[in-house]
Chain A
Amino acid sequence: MSYAPTAESLGTFENRIRGFSDRFNPLVVREIRQIVKAKSFVTVFGLLLFGSWVFSVLAVVQQFEQMEYAELGPMFFHVYLMALIGCLMFAIPSNAFFSMAQEFHDRAFEMLAVTSLSPSKIVAGKIQGAIVMMIVYASAVAPFICLSYMLGGLGLIEIITSLCGLFMVSIALTMFAVMMGALSQKPWLEVLNLIIMLIVAMVTAGVSYGILTEVVIQGGVELLGAITGMGCFAVFMVFVALISLGVAQAQLTTTFLPIGYRRNPTFVSNFQHPNRVPTPSIKQQTNSSDRAEDFSEEDLDL
């Protein structure tokens, strides 16, 4: 009996996948389709995967003799975490920023605004797309993180806390990037906002790296401490995220009525177009008295 997939079963599977995609925000589907074709994603993903692999091989070869007794997990994890910070705190927020800013290029946003998508759905779609990409990047590093755990010296709580913290910061940073992108409706604003966004990302990445390596990896954490710390951190991140979302949504809303709007205006504008009633534009060349009133029979006699 053959278990090879038939064309029919593959077709059904494809239909199911397609049907499954109906449940997603259209922006997520579009963002993912665009990102996986983008050179920037292929480059970053390739570098992340290849770099982690090369480092792992070289480090294992170099530390081979110590592997049995030395706890090398934190050292390996430290490197993978740095690589992940680069992706999650620079690549993804930058992509979200450009993705949102690009909506205002050549009036692309107008086409989006006249669809059934609400501003909140547009913002949510951008963020959900970024979250999917975070998962993709994390999945590339996941085998190597498993390796670092197996090398010893690193607890599961530390790893999970580090990754969760990293994800939360990255999501908040992405929301901030989306807000900055929504505020970039002019080219000079786009440049300025990108610089601000990158400065914020660098500071955040530096602080996160410091906290994660010093407190989590070097110091070690207990489960209760990890949960409490994460909770406090989450509250702060939610606060940042809500402000960012609110600003981004306000920027994308086109239907705010101006103050003093009147459905049935009673005022009459003082401006009257001078050409409302068109006037003869070409001067008459002759006076009527200069010519005969009608053709005479005599004139027409051939």
Chain B
Amino acid sequence: MIDDSAVEPIFDDSPEENGPSKSVVSPAAPDRSQQSPTLEVRNLHRFFGRLKAVNQVSFKAYPGQVMGFIGPNGAGKTTTMRILSTLESPTAGDAFICGDSVVDYPDRVRKRLGFMPDAFGKYPNMNVVEYLDFFARAYGFKGQRRKDAIEHVLVFTELRKLAEKPINTLSKGMSQRLGLGRTLIHDPEVLILDEPAAGLDPRARVELRELIHLLASELKKTVLISSHILTELGEICDSAVIIEAGEILASGSIKDLLTLRRQSHGRQSHASIEMTLIQAGAELEKWLVQQPFVSEVRVSQQAASFEFEGTQDDQHKLLKLLVNEGFPVIEFRGKVESLEDAFMDLTRGLTQ
């Protein structure tokens, strides 16, 4: 049985007749009551024949916010991002970048938006500066202004020393930096990054993450970022939208999504406890399941885990009891919940 009230603060993608739907952004997020959203998706639909690639999607993002756009393959992430980037038109609904409709004013939107696709073609016989110069010209920058824009991007992305290098000889990490630089060349207010970390080595991923963090925190850009590497998104993003089969499942701050996960398990105050023991066995399992607040007990040879619904005092009492009972506990810790956990619980791997 579906209980709408349980998820009301988080879910808000119900269609409204003849009007935009409400979008809920994390109540725990910084106070944005005075701010206008720089990115707003209103009841967006995109159908390809019978396939509903995007279905009743609504959300908002504000300046300085890094929003993760998460979903399995074929969930509708790229289609939504392409609509936001004016590369595709919606079947119904609308989206706004800094208040301008992507349907009515695509030209205005393009000036305020930077889009970085997951893969981008590298033009042959061009070096880094020429590549950036071309895009600066394409955005209408002339003379000294263009020179300054290129210089700023080269410094920000740390590509200065590779300025004369042919772009088709750049490594994947450097190419992604160049892609980000191209996206930033016209200093857009909203950045849409589709799988920017795909195929990057760990160092390049960390560096890219730092750049994105800097863009949001220092330059107050709104960043919508999709990725399959959820652990990384959890570190970069302050909010997330989870989408599957074209529909939004949940949206809000990371904290809200984790709360939602707990609610989905019927728990308000909850912790996952993991223990390491010198020796564990059926006796421990039997003992644990009889304890208050304890559920979902799993015991292996030297480890045990369970869900605990009590307070921290109760946790302390349980640990005391374990020791008193003579169980050889050497480690007792609360498992840190991640965006990945929320994603796995909320999605079912549906494809259309």
Contact = CB atoms under 8 A, between A and B. Distances in A.
Contacts of B139: 115-116
Given A34-B123, A275-B348, A276-B2, A113 B289 contact: no
Given A255-B106, A269-B55, A280-B266, A107 B119 contact: yes
Given A37-B125, A38-B125, A295-B314, A280 B265 contact: yes
A33 B45 contact: no
A64 to B, nearest CB: 43
Contacts of A263: 92-94, 103
Interface string A257-278: 1101111111111011111111
B117 to A, nearest CB: 5
A293 B292 contact: yes
B130 A114 contact: no
A61 interface: no
Chain B binding surface SS class: mixed
Interface string B95-121: 000000001001100110111010111
B148 to A, nearest CB: 13
Contacts of B87: 110, 113-114, 254
A108 B175 CA distance: 13
B119 A106 contact: yes
Contacts, number: 210
Contacts of B266: 280
A271 B55 contact: yes
Contacts of B244: 273, 275
A71 interface: no
Contact of B245 (A113, A273, A292): A273
A117 interface: yes
Contacts of A6: none
B247 A271 contact: yes
Residue of B3, B4, B346 with most partner-chain A CB within 10 A: B346
Interface residues of B, number: 86
Given A264-B18, A295-B317, A102 B346 contact: no
Interface in B325-352: 345-348, 350
A285 B265 CA distance: 13
Contacts of B11: 276-277
B125 A33 contact: yes
Contacts of B111: 116
Interface stretch (A22-30, A147-155, A156-164, A220-228): A22-30
Given A29-B137, A116-B138, A295-B317, A103 B121 contact: yes
A291 B43 contact: no
Given A264-B18, A282-B296, A107 B121 contact: yes
A110 B115 contact: yes
A114 B318 contact: no
Contacts of A295: 291-292, 314, 317-318, 321
B138 A117 contact: yes
Contacts of B93: 262-265
B86 interface: yes
Contact of B110 (A108, A115, A265, A274): A115
A271 B244 CA distance: 12
Contact of B247 (A33, A108, A276): A276
A2 interface: no
A265 B119 CA distance: 33
A19 interface: yes
B9 interface: no
A281 interface: yes
Contacts of A268: 15, 56
